[in-house]
Amino acid sequence: MMELAAAESLVDISGVPPARCHELTGNRKGQFLIDLEYPYRLLFILADDSIPERVEGGLNWVAITEIEIIDIADTH
């Protein structure tokens, strides 16, 4: 939680375990997660007014500055 609070954008979340952050697919498309202590994950959605996209496609993680935490769950 301290790493999330200190981050200026989603790109600032470390890729070092356990903070692995990634976008979900399928029935959870539009949701993201960050690994917590196994087996739990922090699920969130973007709270920005518009979803920032890169010109070449995909999300612009640098432009994502607000999230809304929706759950902490075992998604396995």
14-40 residue pLDDT tens? 665 556 788 888 998 888 888 888 899
Phi, psi of 55 (to 5 degrees): -60, -40
d(CA 34, CA 21): 4
Contact 44, 67 (CB under 8 A): yes
pTM of the model: 0.75
How high is the pLDDT of residue 18?
A: 55
Residue 68 predicted with pLDDT over 80: yes
**pLDDT at residue 55, rounded to an integer:** 86
Please report the pLDDT score of residue 50 as a whole number. 74
pLDDT at 70: 95
Those residues with Cβ within 8 angstroms of residue 13's Cβ, 6 or more apart along the chain or in another chain: 3, 4, 7, 19, 21, 34
Query: Which SS3 state, helix, strand or coil, does residue 61 take?
Result: helix
